[in-house]
Amino acid sequence: MPNSSVAGSVAVPAVLRWCMHLLVAGLLLLTALRALQFPAAQVIGVLVMVATVGVVYAAGAWLPMVRASTAAAVVWLGVLLACWVGLLVLTPDAIYLAFAWFFLILHLLPRRPGLLIVTFTVIAAIGGFAWHQETFTAAMAIGPILGAAVAIATVWGYQALQTESEQRRQLIDQLHQTRAELAAVERQAGVLGERERLAREIHDTLAQGLSSIQLLLRAARRDLPADPNTGRTAELIEQARRTAGENLAEARRFVAALAPTDLHQSSLVAALQRLCDATSRQSGIPITFRQEGVLTPLPTPVEVALLRIA
């Protein structure tokens, strides 16, 4: 059985394909061996047709075009069935190959064309076998019909299971992808939350403390008496004030770098509106936001400061 990917077919495991190959080879060998009891001229004809059917089947099993194209598969099936009908005319034992053809047809073709070709194969099998008999009996028709019914139920059931399995695999893949995306979103939310927390900590503690130190040192510098002996003390106070000012500027740069995500993703107005809405939901206190005048672009540090104050 070719590993077909044409319309209407489902991928078949390698084990089943090799079982089909062995089944066809075994039935052809059985047909050839049983033909040895015929007259010599008929034996040669049967052996030639057995070899022809085997070569055509092997060609379809290994040619890439049969596995990739519905049209090529139909042509190959037509040639194979024609050779088989020729063999059936020579020997009634070829009827057993019909069972293998049922599986092959149903696998390669969509349902409606497959059923039509299976029906033709059943009629050909019954007619070919009856050709060699003196009288026609119902038993000649029951075998091929039951074989076709079993093949149809087996192939369609297998295709349904394969389809359901593929749908489950896709659902599992989607679940894994969704879980990965959710984990990435949670990690991103954690990173952004930590950035905002650090910004608040730096602004509310470190920056405020440095600002207070700077103000206290400036006040201490003013309160020093105008005495030459205090020159060194004044110089150290001024140096400490400058150091505090530099560290305060550095802390403010950190705060600006850790600006709230709302300002990166939208404007200050939208960020303030979301802040009011979120605070109202969390506290239950009605808070409204009103914009007046024309919006003027501001530097990022200013926007950060305004949002922090709010």
| Other C-beta atoms lying within 10 Å of the C-beta of residue 107 | 26
For residues 61 and 1, what is the distance between their CA atoms, to the nearest angstrom? 6
**DSSP line for 254-269:** HHHHT--HHHHHS-HH
Cβ–Cβ < 8 Å for 95, 144: yes
pLDDT digits (tens, 9 = 90+) for 59-116: 887 777 776 777 888 888 889 989 989 888 888 888 888 888 888 888 878 888 888 8
Least confident of 11-20, 46-55, 153-162, 284-293: 11-20
The whole-number average pLDDT for the span 123-147 is: 81
Question: What value does the mean pLDDT take over residues 148-172?
Answer: 84
User: Does 136 have pLDDT greater than 80?
Assistant: no
Q: What local confidence, expressed as pLDDT, does residue 266 receive? A: 62
Task: Decide which of 136, 151, 186 is a domain's last residue.
Answer: 136
Q: Does 206 reside within a domain?
A: no
- The pair of three-digit structure tokens given for residue 297, joined into one six-digit string: 């672009």
Residue 62 is predicted with a pLDDT of 79
Whether 203 is covered by a domain: the verdict is: no
- Which of residues 176 and 262 earns the better pLDDT score? 176
* 240 found inside a domain: no
Q: Reduce the DSSP state of residue 110 to 3 states and report it.
A: coil
In this structure, of 144-153, 168-177, 203-212, 251-260, the range with the lowest mean pLDDT score is 251-260
- Report the pLDDT value the prediction gives residue 51, as an integer from 0 to 100: 92
**pLDDT at 146 exceeding the cut of 50:** yes
- Judged against a pLDDT cut of 80, whether residue 233 lies above it is answered with no
The confidence score (pLDDT) of residue 1 equals 52
Per the model's pLDDT, the better-predicted residue between 58 and 205 turns out to be 58
Spell out the alpha helix ranges (H) of 109-137. Answer: 111-131
Specify the pLDDT at position 256: 67
- Mean per-residue pLDDT, 29-45: 83
- C-alpha 127/C-alpha 113 separation (Å) is 21
Q: Is the pLDDT of residue 4 over 50?
A: no
Is 165 among the domain residues? no
With a cut of 70, say whether residue 123 has pLDDT above it: yes
pLDDT tens digits, one per residue of 167-211: 888 889 898 898 888 888 888 777 777 777 776 776 666 777 777
Distant-in-sequence, close-in-space partners of 54: CB < 8 Å, separation ≥ 6: 24, 25, 28
Number of structural domains the chain divides into: 2
In a domain, 247, yes or no: no
Among 107, 136, 165, the domain boundary falls at 136
Tokens representing 24 are 């066809």
Residue 309 lies in a domain: yes
Which pLDDT score is estimated for 6?
41
Last residue of a domain, one of 119, 136, 153: 136
| Coil vs helix vs strand at 151 | helix
Residue 229 is encoded by which pair of tokens? 């002996």
pLDDT digits (tens, 9 = 90+) for 5-29: 444 444 556 777 788 888 888 888 9
Domain assignment of residue 230, yes or no: no
- The pTM of the full predicted model, rounded to 2 decimals, is 0.49
C-alpha 204/C-alpha 198 separation (Å) is 10
Residue 212 is assigned to a structural domain of this protein: no
> In the prediction, which pLDDT does 52 show?
92
Across the chain, the runs of DSSP E, i.e. the strands, are none
Distance of CA 220 to the CA centre of its chain: 70
Helix axes 268-283, 300-309, angle to 10 degrees: 20
Q: What is the pLDDT of residue 264?
A: 53
The set of long-range contacts for 51-57, using a CB threshold of 8 Å and a minimum separation of 24, is 52/83, 52/86, 52/87, 53/28, 53/80, 53/83, 53/84, 53/87, 53/97, 54/24, 54/25, 54/28, 56/80, 56/83, 57/24
Q: What is the pLDDT of residue 10?
A: 47
Q: Which domain holds residue 303?
A: 260-310
